[in-house]
Amino acid sequence: MTNFYTLTRTELVEAAKEFKFIWLTLFFVILGLTQPLITKYMDVILENVGGADGITIDPNRPVPSSAEVLLSTISGQFNQIGLIILIISLMGLIAADRNSGMQDFILTRPVSLRSYLVSKLAGHWIISMFSISIGAVVSYVYTIFLFGSFSFSNFVLFLLLYSLWILFVVSLAILISTFVKSPILIAVTTIAASIFFILIKGFNHLLFQLSPGGILNLAENQLLSVHDLNYFSIATCLAFISLNLSWASRNLKKA
């Protein structure tokens, strides 16, 4: 698949030229640093920063375990403001190509629509996971430094499952950018849809477990070391990703 390889490499080179590797990584590192530090030093911060007279923190409060801190970093920071920034960085992935005419240029070459879309998916997934992995590893190091040890293999397993969720988000952005023309609208719609999927995964029903957000449940349970896990949601997540891609290619063929 040489077409696929060339197109993916182009995506990566373009991202490197736009400093995307640098700033997305820095952003996730800052996000990952902030949460464990604030959780650990909340009382010091409240004492030292003005305007907090009269607020006391119970000195006997339970110290959160490292798994809980990691979970709050991921589901509180990475999955909310991190996801929003990630999607904003993804919003031009098809729209910019279409508006500059590059898409027509590529598709008049002997390049199949499928390898074009899959290369978009793979390229942006690699960029996102590069940044998120570095941010998550920094957060992990700080968490075990401040709160005690946590098994690294569980963390890696978590990161692998989380990468599937990111893959789904990228494929969702591709699908929505075949419907909508303007990049800002693409970002807003994708953010709304993925937050909807994050909300829906909380309901404890089989139907909601099989929604694409179920993979996120599975990933978070890796951190909490719950045992009876529903590994079936890996398959449904992959099915949703391929559904998104085939729908997107059908839309592009029609247009």
Partner 1 sequence: MNTDMSALLEIDWPQILPFALPIIFFNLLLIGVALYDWYKRKVLIVSPYIWLVIILLLQLLGPILYLVIGRRMIRNDYSREAS
CB closer to partner 1, 41 vs 152: 41
Is 121 buried (19+), middle (13-18) or exposed (0-12) by CB count in 10 A?
buried
Q: How far is the CB of 113 from partner 1 (least distance, A)?
A: 20
Specify whether the CB–CB gap between 157 and 224 falls below 8 A: no
Element at 248 (helix H, strand E):
helix 232-254
Q: Does 26 bind partner 1 (CB under 8 A)?
A: yes
Residue 29-58 contact track with partner 1, rule CB under 8 A, x = bound: xx--xx--x--xx--xx-xxxxx-------
Q: How far is the CB of 90 from partner 1 (least distance, A)?
A: 10
DSSP-derived secondary structure for 35-50: HHHHHHSHHHHHHHSS
| Site residues (CB under 8 A) for partner 1, limited to 77-136 | 85, 88-89, 92, 98-101
Q: Does 14 bind partner 1 (CB under 8 A)?
A: no
Q: Does 179 bind partner 1 (CB under 8 A)?
A: no
Q: How far is the CB of 50 from partner 1 (least distance, A)?
A: 4
The pair of three-digit structure tokens given for residue 173, joined into one six-digit string: 């952005």
CB closer to partner 1, 135 vs 214: 135
The number of residues making up the chain comes to 255
> For partner 1, which residue of 13, 14, 19, 235 counts as binding (CB under 8 A)?
19
The pair of three-digit structure tokens given for residue 203, joined into one six-digit string: 């309901």
Cβ-based neighbours of 91, under 8 Å, separated by 6 or more: 173, 177, 183, 184, 186, 187, 190
Q: How far is the CB of 42 from partner 1 (least distance, A)?
A: 12
Torsion of CA 199, 78, 166, 221, to 10 degrees: -70
Q: How far is the CB of 210 from partner 1 (least distance, A)?
A: 34
Given the rule CB under 8 A, which residues bind partner 1? 18-20, 22-23, 26-27, 29-30, 33-34, 37, 40-41, 44-45, 47-51, 85, 88-89, 92, 98-101
